[in-house]
Amino acid sequence: MIEDRKPFFRAVIMPNETGWKVRDVLKRHYHFSTGLIRNIKNDGVLQVNKENVYFTKQLNAWDIVELYLEQQSKVFPEVSSLKIVYEDDEILVINKSSGQIMHPRHQYISGTLANYIAGYLAEKGEVPSSYLINRLDKGTSGLVLVAKNPLAASILSEEVGQMKKVYLALTHGNFSSDNGVIDFNIVEPKEGIKRTVGPQGKTAITRYQVIKRYADFTLVKLSLESGRTHQIRVHLSASGHPIAGDDFYGEATNGFERIFLHASYLEFFHPKTGSILKLKAKLPSDLYRLLEGLKEL
């Protein structure tokens, strides 16, 4: 019953919105996408002053608009510790550990980050459903942005390409310059998941800055101007500097049990307030120890 559920969105109509249709208010003033409105039409409920209405209804000042949408988790909630960097009513930012799978798939039907997020929210009495905005590979550690409701997810998904995302990576060899741009088109495979570079691929740009040079390796900071799958790994490998520990796009590295890639910084506009959030995640201790064992130049 809808009486037992909490609306994921609630707004009071202002006098200057009198005569507007619900759909127009939601799109112009609250950044609702056409897709989200369609989902609510199909699987949700729109109420004005506690009465079910259509999105074409014209509004009066001080009307109360409430939206409901089924948000039950598609994964089984499981309880485990999470490294929470930031949280409010709209979003959750987690520092993912290396080795953590993002979503259930194939043989990984439990123990994923999505399972643990659902369990965490359920324990708090919140709807155990979440929307992972950015993705990290299993071996990559660092910041993962999670929306807690459909509107936040819709807004952040449109913003994700413009978010500032910074990574730290230890690469083989030494770069000829301290700063540079890697600009190779990335080709998606017809079979499997391994990407390549080539003129027929999709545009992808990665900027790098050398942080520290070692005898056989270089620690670099990387920022993305596009968000292709495996972009950093493909670009660094194609430039002759594969990431240490990445035996998929490079080669096995003695002493490295996982890929040396960490999502260290995330900057984006908050989906509700519009304020800029700047979040950091320090290099994990296992990667620090690896650096301590290297000879500096």
Locate tokens 């304020």: which residue? 275
Of 164, 165, 159, nearest to 274 (Cα)? 159
Q: Which domains does the chain have, with CATH numbers?
A: 2-69 (3.10.290.10), 71-153 (3.30.2350.10), 164-263+288-292 (3.30.2350.10)
pLDDT at 15: 94
pLDDT at 6: 79
Cα dihedral sign, 61-64-70-73: positive
Which is the catalytic residue, given 24, 89, 137, 183?
Answer: 137
Q: State the alpha helices, DSSP H only, in the chain.
A: 22-30, 34-43, 113-123, 150-159, 231-238, 285-292
Of 131, 134, 159, nearest to 270 (Cα)? 159
Q: Both tokens of residue 269?
A: 């506009």
pLDDT at 31: 87
Q: Cα(112)–Cα(102) distance, rounded to whole angstroms?
A: 5
- Does residue 230 come out as left (phi exceeding 0), alpha (psi in the -120 to 50 range) or beta? left
Q: Cα(170)–Cα(233) distance, rounded to whole angstroms?
A: 11
Indicate the pTM of the whole model.
0.86
In eight-state DSSP terms, residue 197 is: E
Reduce the DSSP state of residue 119 to 3 states and report it.
helix
Q: Cα(158)–Cα(165) distance, rounded to whole angstroms?
A: 15
Q: Both tokens of residue 183?
A: 């600009």
Of 173, 227, 236, 228, nearest to 208 (Cα)? 236
CB 149 within 8 A of CB 68: no
Q: State the alpha helices, DSSP H only, in 75-230.
A: 113-123, 150-159
Q: Cα(261)–Cα(233) distance, rounded to whole angstroms?
A: 9
Read off φ and ψ for residue 159, nearest 5 degrees.
-90, -20
Task: Provide the residue count of the chain.
Answer: 297
Locate tokens 């994923």: which residue? 112
Active site residue 137: yes
Tell me the average confidence (pLDDT) per consecutive run of 10 residues in the chain, 297 residues long. Answer: 71 94 93 89 92 95 91 80 95 96 82 93 84 93 95 90 94 94 94 91 95 96 91 96 95 90 97 95 95 86
Locate tokens 């994921």: which residue? 8
